[in-house]
Amino acid sequence: MSRLALSKEILMSVDKPARYIGHEVNAVIKDPEGLVRFAMCFPDLYEIGMSHLGMQILYDMFNSYEDVWCERVFSVWCDLHAIMKERKIPLFALESQDPIKTFDFLGITLQYEMSYTNIVQILDLSDIPVYSKDRMEDDPIVICGGPCTYNPEPVADFFDLVYIGEGEASYRELIDLYKECRKEGLLREAFIRKAGRIPGIYAPSAYEVNYNEDGTIRSFEPKYDDIPATVTKVIETDLSDTYYPLKPVVPYIKATQDRVVLEIQRGCIRGCRFCQAGSVYKPIRRRDEALLEKWADMMLKNTGYEEISLSSLSSSDYPDLKKLCDYLIDRYLDRHVNISLPSLRVDAFSLDVMGKVQDIRKSVVTFAPEAGSQRMRNVINKGLTEEDILDGCKKAYLAGWERVKLYFMLGLPYETKEDMEGIARLSNDIAMLYYDTIPKSERKNKVSIVTSTSFFVPKPFTPFQWAKMDTAEEFRGKAHIVNEAMKQQLNRKSIRYNWHNADVSVLEGVFARGDRRLSRVIKRAYDNGCLFDAWTETFNMEAWERSFEESGICPEFYYNRERPFSEILPWDFIDIGVRRSFLQAEYEKAAREELTPNCARACSGCGAAVFNAGVCHER
């Protein structure tokens, strides 16, 4: 093993030192001479980032290029953060242990809004100026990608470039441009401006934002004639002919998802009105089933993992799911390889497969009704009736399950107290169904129902992007209503009720729909000690409130008001294919409790057909 950036003394003094030493199985080591060096960063702990499929895909793709060496970097936990600040140790990449500041690119994936202070940590520990405008010629080009880039504005001032879309599509062109500019001796500003003309690449410094007196956006325009007014997302149209990590890096320590991940498709046909992923990843595109069988064999062989997970937003909509599951069960069940099937609609086939690959007595069957009444499920276009839910639960009970998890949301648009209390009633009905279905003589245990509610956060590029979001106090009041209703249910002793942290949800709502002015709040929060805000043990709402006050920013402006359709939204310069007019029509249909059919049943003309791929192309 090469030298380590941290001494043995430091490594032995911090939690899980294996997070920081690199050189795991399948890690890529290259001679850096003459190569473009790319530091791929996930701004959270190693075991979280190593579970992220997108990072593994890009790591494999970049390292397949002969002229690029991609290495990994993650946030360091609070114990090591303090040591590195005190001793002025620069943040380093795992493979070479070289300082990040010496790289050509630093690429940061933005998976969730509550990682934004960790972005500042990465830049601070790397000795890279936090704001793009302050960087010098020898600083890396800092670029971000991931789902939060569908509104990058709250962090736009931290980044030189923003990649909007799927990484397989435009990175090769960006690397080639960088090499060309470096050969010609062009300055970083010239490269950034040229990069802003590549499909899917947004250069924040090339745009100017002006505001009205009421704080809303008056204009958002490019500063230069050669910069596009609209940035269109880029996608990979043929998922069966693209990069995939057939030799993924295997961590030394247990990752959050310690298994082979097989992505079977991208996108979703369902059209739930609260779901950002369902919009931004349109159209749905599927991988060839025979290819997936081959990939599964290779990945299990190359990693030694004993579990494989089939990944997608809605696995039940993959047409060859039964064939793929039958192959994996026949080939691997006797070898004690577990098969994980997330994102399933619970039907007879799904329960049959889960029964074959799980210990039913120890496992849990999961439903996501999302709302407590049929009226609210129509509002959000869930496409799931109470009959569907109860029928699925009955099938699960008959198959041997006794433990059920239920996921709901509180604070949805047009919600009433009756809808909230409906969460308790439906939970009780599902518990009652067990006793009505399974004879007393066949019961080994009581049924166990765990009901969880998250708080609704309106997201860009959804029909609810204009909606008012509740305050933390209103959220807690609604959770109290559900909790009190739970206590009134006949089967209350069989039901456990949990709810999300309301303060975290409010902050997520601020940054989900925020603008560039929020960057100073994020920087101030980091200076005030905020870090790992998605973690309960480190979240500090008082420090956040102080940071907003010190920055002169009112958070309620960003989350607690209804936006008119005429307002310019911070992300309006991005084109995801789905038309604004379609989203507006869907919001109006939600108010009328009208359903929209899924993409498999009928085309609703959302606009995603412009990509001529997937289900839109098949039509």
3-state secondary structure of 180: helix
- Distance, CA of 107 to CA of 110 (rounded, Å): 10
Report the pLDDT value the prediction gives residue 349, as an integer from 0 to 100: 77
Please state, in angstroms and rounded to a whole number, the distance separating the CA atoms of residues 534 and 44.
Answer: 9
Strand (E) or helix (H) holding 38: strand 36-42
CB of 280 closer than 8 Å to CB of 461 = yes
CA-closest candidate to residue 243, choices 302, 184, 295: 295
Q: Which CATH class is domain 360-500?
A: alpha beta
The structural domains of the chain, with segments of one domain joined by +, span 8-232, 259-358+577-619, 360-500
Cα–Cα distances in Å, from 318 out to 53, 267, 322, 344, 577? 19, 11, 9, 10, 22
Please indicate whether the domains covering 259-358+577-619 and 360-500 agree at the CATH topology level: yes
Going by C-alpha positions, the residue among 272, 431, 244 that lies closest to residue 345 is 272
Query: What's the pLDDT score for residue 362?
Result: 64
**Residue 547, pLDDT score:** 98
Question: What pairs with residue 145 in β-bridges?
Answer: 109
Q: Which two tokens stand for residue 359?
A: 């210990």
pLDDT at 360: 60
Structure confidence at residue 350 (pLDDT): 77
pLDDT score at 353: 78
From the number of C-beta atoms within 10 Å of its C-beta (0-12, 13-18, 19+), residue 204 rates as: buried
Residue 361 has what pLDDT?
65
pTM above 0.85, yes or no: yes
pLDDT tens digit string along 496-538? 999 999 999 999 999 999 999 999 999 999 999 999 999 999 9
CA distances (Å), origin 525, targets 119, 128, 513, 533, 573:
12, 18, 18, 10, 28
pLDDT along the chain (619 residues), means of 10: 88 97 96 97 97 96 98 98 98 98 98 97 98 98 98 98 97 98 97 98 98 98 97 96 95 92 95 96 96 97 94 92 93 87 76 74 85 97 92 92 95 98 98 96 93 98 98 98 97 96 98 98 98 97 98 98 98 98 98 95 94 85
The C-alpha atoms of residue 341 and residue 354 are separated, in whole angstroms, by: 8
Query: What is the CATH number that goes with domain 259-358+577-619?
Result: 3.30.750.210
SS3 409: strand
Q: Residue 93: name the closest of 107, 81, 79 by CA.
A: 107
| pLDDT given at position 1 | 47
